[in-house]
Amino acid sequence: MRACRVTAFDQPPQLADTALAPPAAGEIQVAIRAGALNFADTLMCTGRYQDTPEPPFTLGLELSGKIIEIGEGVTGFQAGQRVAIYSGQGGLAEAGNFPADRCIPIPEGLGYAEAAALQIAYGTSHMALDYKARLQPGERLVVTGAAGGVGLTAVEIGKLMGAEVIAIARGADKLAIAKAAGADHLIDADSPDIREQIKALGGADVVYDAVGEPLYEACFRATNPDGRILLIGFAGGDLPKMKPNHMLVKNITAIGFYWGAYLNFNPAPLRASLATLFDWAAEGRIKPHISHRLPLDQFAEALELIRSRQATGKVVLEP
């Protein structure tokens, strides 16, 4: 089978033919129909992601496909069944073996690309806003990077949860996408007065920050007393400059959130969240926005779309 392989951190990934062994005990072998890309994939290429495996490995944190074969000891699945998988690696390939406990049946009416694209982006936003920040109806939610793969889901889920959503993104085209996802107010990321614009709207009760500096500073200064700031990622390249003395005076809580870690130390809320999201998707209440669908041999172009932030929503490779 063909797979997008990282063989060394100082070399670009390559599409290579690799052997596929039978599934081991506890594993399921899947013919991959869609692999969704994430910003983390661009970091894994150079070993800068917190969960990067040692080379050689296959890129691709999340995927969907059809079961080929069941490994020893696996119950509840059958050959031919459609599943989505948060794999951590191995998704950018034609097939692979994955732990059965990471597989989720795909409900009828949900396509492979949507099922692959739903897991990390929607899972991150739903758990962050619901389980961690306890977002309440009527609260004001500010989302940075609001047209990106993760930020766009925060806009959509925040609106579903009853919040008033302020979307921050760069340029009219991206802001239009955030508006279509449900944003109530739009702020261009290049504006010189972001703090003042948020304050004029009543300030932020919850900030969902997927960018870092320089947007973090403006959003922090516009956060209301007793507000919560979710630290989701640092796509802007610079870590937030935390001011604990100001946080103390305003009773502001900063919440670090890394979705994938819950699989290792507390998987129950993650699985409950995904069950909710798959139900919402099957009911049409959420619809993953996929801006680019490319064949596997265009993986380099797909990674560049993520790296250069040209994508709006998700980028999916379809072997």
pLDDT tens readout for residues 103-120 = 999 988 899 999 999 999
pLDDT in tens, 210-225: 999 999 999 999 999 9
Give the pLDDT confidence of 77-105 residue by residue, as tens digits: 999 999 999 999 999 999 999 999 999 99
User: What is the distance between the alpha carbons of residues 112 and 32, in angstroms, rounded to a whole number?
Assistant: 9
DSSP 8-state symbol, 128: I
SS3 166: strand
Mean pLDDT of the residues in the chain: 94
Residue 25: count of CB within 10 angstroms of its CB:
9
Summarised one tens digit per residue, pLDDT across range 174-232 is: 999 999 999 999 999 999 999 999 999 999 999 999 999 999 999 999 999 999 999 99
Q: At residue 173, does pLDDT exceed 80?
A: yes
Q: What is the pLDDT, as a whole number, of residue 50?
A: 82
- Where would I find the beta strands (DSSP E) of the chain? 2-6, 14-17, 27-36, 57-58, 62-70, 82-86, 95-99, 103-105, 140-144, 164-169, 185-188, 204-209, 223-231, 253-256, 290-294, 314-317
pLDDT (0 to 100) of residue 318: 97
Residue 313: its pLDDT value, please?
73
Domains of the chain with bracketed CATH: 2-119+261-317 (3.90.180.10), 137-257 (3.40.50.720)
